[in-house]
Structure 1
Amino acid sequence: MESIEIQPWLFRVEPLEGESLSHFLGRFRQANELTPNRLGKMAGLGGAIARWEKFRFNPPPSPQQLEALAVVVGVETERLQEMLPPPDVGMKLEPIRLCGACYAQSPCHRIEWQFKTATGCDRHKLRLLSECPNCGARFKIPALWVDGWCSRCFLSFKDIVKWQKTTLP
């Protein structure tokens, strides 16, 4: 009897507007019950997925790496590229930052919040938060955001807008 190789099927996850690659990869992995290493193995990328989820883009993903990931996650390579910082923009790896007003409109981590040049949300003119205003816990990497709330006290990210201060013009 001939052996047939069974291809795994995966749930598709649609990227959200402005979403960071870290958050998208976390949502995709959660929907498909994958670890970073398993997703990396499926795409032939090794440990790159774990690095990218932590905003470690040095070296940046190559076009070949993005193509390999695109095949597995079912998203166009160009769309994955949009989830990365522009080539001339530095990234702030820590702390993870968040705008509660943006999150209430679209529940995702936006890549622009991690730009070194970002101090506030351009849309809402609010300062970005890097820790829960209720309990002081630092926000985890977006790939680990499961339900959109603080991992320690369960305060919803949508509700933190009450604690955000306005930015100066």
Structure 2
Amino acid sequence: MKAEDIQPWLFRVEPYEGESLSHFLGRFRRANELTPTGLGKAAGIGGAVARWEKFRFNPPPSRQQLEALAIVVGVEADRLEQMLPPAGEGMKMEPIRLCAACYAESPCHKIEWQFQVTQGCKRHQLRLLSECPNCGARFKVPALWVDGWCQRCFMPFAEMTSKQKLFYC
């Protein structure tokens, strides 16, 4: 199956400002009932979607891959590129991190939270969370965030703000 065959039937999903590619791909796949493999096949990029959802960008996505994905998801390749870490920026694949205050304002995972140099949220001056403050469960990859809450105890991400410690930039 090619992108041209299914494109008219796909639901569009608009990216959030600063959203990580992992989170966006998960939202797009759920809206269209696609697996990572199905999306990769439709775009002609194979297993790349599954890797990118886990922040595995080595090798980084090529321009050709981003353009192929752009056709399927209906988002410009340049916009998809903004969801990736800048060239030379070190990434933490684990643990997945979250600023609950940011999430309360815009319900998405921000790519900057996974940068190696990022320890806290400069906007809210809060330390990033890497696990649920209620039950201690590590956060799943953002592609799997469906309802914006801990997958073990169901505490909403937005309510975790009160558990974040101050961070001094």
Q: Same fold (TM over 0.5)?
A: yes
The one-letter code sitting in structure 1 at the alignment partner of 2:121 is C
RMSD (CA atoms): 0.9
Q: Does 1:52 align with 2:46?
A: no
Q: Specify the alignment match of 1:146 in structure 2.
A: 146
Q: Specify the alignment match of 1:7 in structure 2.
A: 5
The one-letter code sitting in structure 1 at the alignment partner of 2:32 is N
What is the distance in 1 between the residues matched to 2:168 and 2:115? 19
Mapping for residues 26-65 of structure 1, pairs under 5 Å: 26-65=26-65
Q: Specify the alignment match of 2:126 in structure 1.
A: 126
- Displacement, 1:7? 2.4
The one-letter code sitting in structure 1 at the alignment partner of 2:118 is A
Report the secondary structure of 2:70's partner residue: helix
Gapped runs of 5+ residues in structure 2?
none
Q: Does 1:76 align with 2:54?
A: no
The one-letter code sitting in structure 1 at the alignment partner of 2:59 is P
Mapping for residues 84-123 of structure 1, pairs under 5 Å: 84-123=84-123
Figure out how many residues of one structure are paired with residues of the other and give that number.
Answer: 164
TM-score norm. by structure 2 comes to 0.96
Superposed CA deviations along residues 52-80 of structure 1, whole A, max 9, x for unmatched, are 00000000000000000000000001000
Superposed CA deviations along residues 2-50 of structure 1, whole A, max 9, x for unmatched, are xxxx922100000000000000000000000100000000000110000
Gapped runs of 5+ residues in structure 1?
1-5
The one-letter code sitting in structure 2 at the alignment partner of 1:21 is L
Sequence identity (%): 74
The one-letter code sitting in structure 2 at the alignment partner of 1:13 is V
The runs of at least 4 consecutive aligned structure 1 residues that moved more than 6 Å come to none
Report the secondary structure of 2:5's partner residue: coil
